[in-house]
């Protein structure tokens, strides 16, 4: 008889609630335990989701032999510490984006995953959704020819909700357009190209001293030029456009919050009528993330398959984000 996999959740924020809803909807794994610093918030969360096992000691939850999967929904600057602890305990790990806030912590976390040969995935949940697969496959099949340029933007008014130690807009929001750009560039031009680029950026600091808005221009070693923009102090706006040698792909819906319905993009051959492609699914990205993690663990896999992020992808995305931050701070400090 196949064992029902038990989730242990670190953190009780709104993102934990999204995951809890998805675990319940998926229905083939169990919300077994949750840990939080605030007893009142912890008890409220546990009661809402009927979770019997609660902890204020994160290490105790991680080391509970009944827990199979650790979900890390803590502020970005704490992610690496608990990835390492969970990997050392031999647990499967789902760590919310962004994996860390610098490359030293990133490398330490991924080294622990590798050394313990444990399952790991970064919570870029939209990459598991059929909408992302449809975007990537349409590009891969040559619908717009070869990629020539990408422009992407994600803004949301979340500044008042985020932990200042999480390093601001680039790691809270910029990771979404950066990771989708990375997926498509790597798919078409291999890792050698996606790892080699120059980046210039301009931005602003927020009241917490972090970058609250930034626009970057990235030129890859093969000459492809891309633009990224993010801000966490105004709006809710998502945009993503790919220009190819034969046409364009423009997303009509938010690719980073895909749901069961309403997902679409337009393919336009230059100077011709557009074709709108709609993608329906069973639910949102969190549902698919839970489903694919369960299926991967049941098969004995150590990471999710394309187009989800592998540990190598997570390292490359973090490198892009830290380079984006450094380029922004360079211009701010001039």
Q: Does residue 222 sit within a domain?
A: yes
Beta bridge partners of 265: 251, 277
Residue 126 in tokens: 């939209």
Q: Does residue 311 sit within a domain?
A: no
Q: Are 114 and 257 found together in one domain? A: no
pLDDT category, 89, cuts 50, 70, 90?
A: very high
pLDDT category, 190, cuts 50, 70, 90?
A: confident
Q: Are 114 and 147 found together in one domain? A: no
Taking only the tens place, the pLDDT of each residue in 51-60 is 999 999 999 9
What pLDDT is attached to residue 255? 97
Q: Does residue 276 sit within a domain?
A: yes
Q: Does residue 308 sit within a domain?
A: no
- Give the sign of the dihedral formed by CA 227, CA 136, CA 315, CA 158: positive
pLDDT at 2 over 80: no
Q: Are 91 and 14 found together in one domain? A: yes
pLDDT at 1 over 80: no
Cα separation, 213 vs 150, in Å, equals 19
What pLDDT is attached to residue 156? 97
CB 246 within 8 A of CB 144: yes
Q: Are 63 and 95 found together in one domain? A: yes
Q: Does residue 307 sit within a domain?
A: no
What pLDDT is attached to residue 114? 98
Chain Cα centroid distance, residue 5 = 23
Q: Are 108 and 190 found together in one domain? A: no
Cα separation, 39 vs 57, in Å, equals 11
Q: Does residue 312 sit within a domain?
A: no
Taking only the tens place, the pLDDT of each residue in 200-220 is 999 999 999 999 999 999 999
pLDDT at 74 over 90: yes
For tokens 């927020």, what's the residue? Answer: 206
- What single DSSP character describes residue 195? T
Q: Are 167 and 97 found together in one domain? A: no
CB 225 within 8 A of CB 109: no
Please report, rounded to a whole number, the percentage of residues in the chain having pLDDT higher than 70.
Answer: 100
Q: Are 163 and 198 found together in one domain? A: yes
Taking only the tens place, the pLDDT of each residue in 242-275 is 999 999 999 999 999 999 999 999 999 999 999 9
What pLDDT is attached to residue 290? 98
Q: Are 25 and 40 found together in one domain? A: yes
Please report, rounded to a whole number, the percentage of residues in the chain having pLDDT higher than 90.
Answer: 96
What pLDDT is attached to residue 118? 98
Q: Are 70 and 137 found together in one domain? A: no
Residues 6+ positions from 146 with CB-CB distance below 8 Å: 188, 244, 245
CB 92 within 8 A of CB 83: no
Q: Are 146 and 119 found together in one domain? A: no
pLDDT at 279 over 80: yes
Q: pTM score, two decimals?
A: 0.97
Residue 228 in tokens: 């990224």
- What single DSSP character describes residue 125? G
Residue 310 in tokens: 């592998």
Q: Does residue 1 sit within a domain?
A: no
Q: Are 140 and 41 found together in one domain? A: no
CB 239 within 8 A of CB 229: no
Domain that holds residue 14: 6-123+287-302
Q: Are 321 and 181 found together in one domain? A: yes
CATH number at residue 203: 3.30.360.10
Residues 6+ positions from 232 with CB-CB distance below 8 Å: 155, 156, 157, 158, 159, 162, 168, 169, 172, 173, 206, 212, 213
Q: Does residue 99 sit within a domain?
A: yes
pLDDT category, 192, cuts 50, 70, 90?
A: confident
Cα separation, 28 vs 68, in Å, equals 13
pLDDT category, 85, cuts 50, 70, 90?
A: very high
Residue 332 burial (CB count, 10 A): 14
CATH number at residue 64: 3.40.50.720
3-state helix, strand, coil in the chain (%, to 5): 40, 25, 30
CB 26 within 8 A of CB 4: no
If one counts the domains in the chain, the total is 2
């Amino acid at each position: 008889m196949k064992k029902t996999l038990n989730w242990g959740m670190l953190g009780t924020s709104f993102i934990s609630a999204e995951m809890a809803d998805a675990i319940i909807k998926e229905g083939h794994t169990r919300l077994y335990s949750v840990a939080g610093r605030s007893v009142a918030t912890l008890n409220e969360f546990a009661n809402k989701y009927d979770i019997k096992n609660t902890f204020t000691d994160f290490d105790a939850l991680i080391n509970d032999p009944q827990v199979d999967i650790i979900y890390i929904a803590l502020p970005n600057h704490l992610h690496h510490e608990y990835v390492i602890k969970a990997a050392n305990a031999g647990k499967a790990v789902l760590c919310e984006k962004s994996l860390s806030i610098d490359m030293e912590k990133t490398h330490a976390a991924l080294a622990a995953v590798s050394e313990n040969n444990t399952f790991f995935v970064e919570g870029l949940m939209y990459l598991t959704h059929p909408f992302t697969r449809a975007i990537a496959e349409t590009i891969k099949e040559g619908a717009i020819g070869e990629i020539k340029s990408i422009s992407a933007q994600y803004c949301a008014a979340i500044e008042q909700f985020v932990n200042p130690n999480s390093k601001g807009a680039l790691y809270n929001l910029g990771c979404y357009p950066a990771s989708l750009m990375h997926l498509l560039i790597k798919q078409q031009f291999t890792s050698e190209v996606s790892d080699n680029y120059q980046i210039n950026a301009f931005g602003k600091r927020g009241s917490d001293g972090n970058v609250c808005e930034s626009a970057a221009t990235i030129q890859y070693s093969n000459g492809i030029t891309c633009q990224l923009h993010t801000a966490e102090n105004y709006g809710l706006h998502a945009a993503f456009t790919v220009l190819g040698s034969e046409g364009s792909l423009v997303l009509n819906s938010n690719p980073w919050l895909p749901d069961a319905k309403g997902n679409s993009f337009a393919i336009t051959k230059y100077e011709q009528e557009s074709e709108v492609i709609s993608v329906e699914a069973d639910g949102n990205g969190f549902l698919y993330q839970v489903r694919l993690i369960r299926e991967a663990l049941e098969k004995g896999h150590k990471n999710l398959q394309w187009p989800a992020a592998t540990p190598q992808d997570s390292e490359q995305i973090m490198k892009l984000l830290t380079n984006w931050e450094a380029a922004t701070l360079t211009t701010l400090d001039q």
